[in-house]
Structure 1
Amino acid sequence: MKFDLHTHHDRCGHARGCIRDYIEAAIEKGLNIIGISDHTPYFSSKEDHPYPHIAMATSQFPEYIEEVLKLKQEYSGKLDVLLGIEADFFPEHVENYRAYFDRYPFDYIIGSVHQVDGVSIFNKNRWEGLSSKEKIRTKETYYSLIEQSARSGMFQILGHIDAMKGFYPEFSTIETATVEQTLKVIAACDIAIEINTSGKTKYVGGWYPADDILERALHHGVKVTFGSDAHDPHRVGDEFETVQARLKEIGFREWVYFKAKKRYAVSV
């Protein structure tokens, strides 16, 4: 069973290709399942499209759903097309977002923290001039948000849980017990985390999360899934077999995917 649950397309303003391009790439690469999971609109903004190069407009959301559902039917028998979405997690806006999600038949929702203290986790300058104490606080705030996202009950998958290292590899060496605590919360909430191979497109290389976090995730019983986080069709399923082999080495026996928000486990 070969799957990829994390893909984007041109509606978000920073990915290339339409949804069909990603589906065709999945067929070409021998996938059984492709999840379409573009960035949610900023539902709590008064503007329809406040950030055109980050996410789709709120008015585009229903057409996104409609297109994926049509393609799901069209490709039935060739490939399982799943309706997903990647949602920014803003604790103050959870109920607003939940109201939008409850209207549609999602197979799964990925919850991702992209901002800490109002600044993008991928902002290359955010670490400049910070003391060691401030860096620890920033990392702990990041993981506190991930814990809150797990507890919200809104997500089946948590996205790239150490992606803050993307343009700051030293993030992984900031000493704090918060990562262990967060994994315990994720396990208690029975939510999956993704192995996301888009780290190779950032300074850090590799994937999210790092092997040491995956080892601790296994210890705590956290379920895992796979997502390329492709923003270009050529990256669909990127490094699936490599991740699969590494998970076996770490000790995982299975990973999961979702349909109609029901979790299915398959052997790694």
Structure 2
Amino acid sequence: MKFDLHTHHDRCGHARGGIRDYIEAGIEKGLNIIGISDHTPYFSSKEDHPFPHITMATSQFPEYVKEVLKLKQEYSGKIDVLLGIEADFFPEHVEKYRPHFDRYPFDYIIGSVHHVDGVSIFKAERWEGLSSKEQIRTKESYYSLIEQSARSGMYQILGHIDAMKGFYPEFSNIQTAAVEHTLKVIAECDVAIEINTSGKTKYVGGWYPADDILEMALHHGVKVTFGSDAHDPERVGDEFEIVQARLKQIGFKDWVYFNERKRYAVKL
């Protein structure tokens, strides 16, 4: 069973190609399942499209769902197309997002933290001049948000849980017990984490999360899944077999995918 649950397309304003292009790429790569999971609109904003290069417009959301469901039917028998979405986690706006997800037949929702203290996690300059105590506080704030996202009950998958290292590789060396504590909470809340191979497109290289986090995740019983986080059809399914082999080495026996928000385990 070969799958990729994290793909984007041109509605978000920073990906290349339409949904059909990603589905066709999935077929070409031999996938059995492809999940379409573009960025949600900013449902908390009064503007329809406040950030056209980050997310789709709120008015585009119903047509996004409609297109995925149409293509799901069209490609039935060739590849299973799943309706997903990647949602930013803003604790103060959870109840503004939840009704939009309850309205449609999503197979899964990926919850991702992209901002800490109002600043993008991918902004390398945010670390300039910080003392080690301030660095620890920033990392702990990041994992506090991930912990809250797990507790929200809104997501089946948590996205790229150490992506803050993307443009600041030293992030991984900031020592704090918050990472393991967050993994314990994720396990208690029975939410999966993804192995996301888009780290190779950032300074850090490799994927999210790092092996030491995956080892802790296994120890605490956290379920794992796979997502390329492709913003280009060429990256669909990227490094699936390499991740699969590494998970086996770490000691995982299976990984999971979701259909109609139900979790299914697949042997590695």
Q: Same fold (TM over 0.5)?
A: yes
Q: Deviations over 1:205-227 (max 9, x none)?
A: 00000000000000000000000
The TM-score with structure 2 as length reference comes to: 1.00
* Paired AA for residue 52 in structure 1: P
Deviations 1:216-268 (A, max 9, x none): 00000000000000000000000000000000000000000000000000001
Structure 2 residue 91 is the aligned partner of structure 1 residue 78: no
Report the 3-state secondary structure (helix = DSSP H, G, I; strand = E; otherwise coil) of the residue aligned with 2:68: helix
Aligned residues: 268
Q: CA RMSD in A?
A: 0.3
Counterpart residue type for residue 137 of structure 2: R
- After superposition, residues 2-41 of structure 1 pair within 5 angstroms as 2-41=2-41
What are the equivalent positions in structure 2 for 1:1-268 lying under 5 Å apart?
A: 1-268=1-268
* TM-score (norm: length of structure 1): 1.00
The CA deviation at 1:124 is: 1.7
Following superposition, the deviation at residue 199 of structure 1 comes to 0.1
Q: 1:187 and 1:231 mapped to 2: Cα distance?
A: 29
Q: Deviations over 1:7-41 (max 9, x none)?
A: 00000000000000000000000000000000000
* Cα separation, 1, equivalents of 2:123 and 2:71: 35
Cα offsets for 1:86-129 (capped at 9, x unmatched): 00000000011001100000000000000000000001211011
**What secondary structure sits across from 2:40 in the alignment?**
coil
Which consecutive unaligned segments of at least 5 residues does structure 1 have? none
- The residue type paired with residue 166 of structure 2 is G
Stretches of structure 2 lacking an aligned partner (at least 5 in a row): none
Deviation at 1:56, TM superposition (A): 0.3
Measured in 2, the distance between the counterparts of 1:66 and 1:138 equals 39
**Cα distance in 1, alignment partners of residues 140 and 129 from structure 2:** 18
Separation (CA, whole Å) in 2 of partners of 1:124 and 1:145:
19
For 1:245 and 1:191, locate their aligned partners in 2 and report how far apart those are by CA, in whole Å. Answer: 22
The offset of 1:144, in angstroms, is 0.1
User: Secondary structure in 1 aligned to 2:108?
Assistant: coil
CA distance in 2, matches of 1:151, 1:8: 25
Runs of 4 or more above 3 Å deviation: none
- The percentage of counterpart residues that share the same residue type is 87
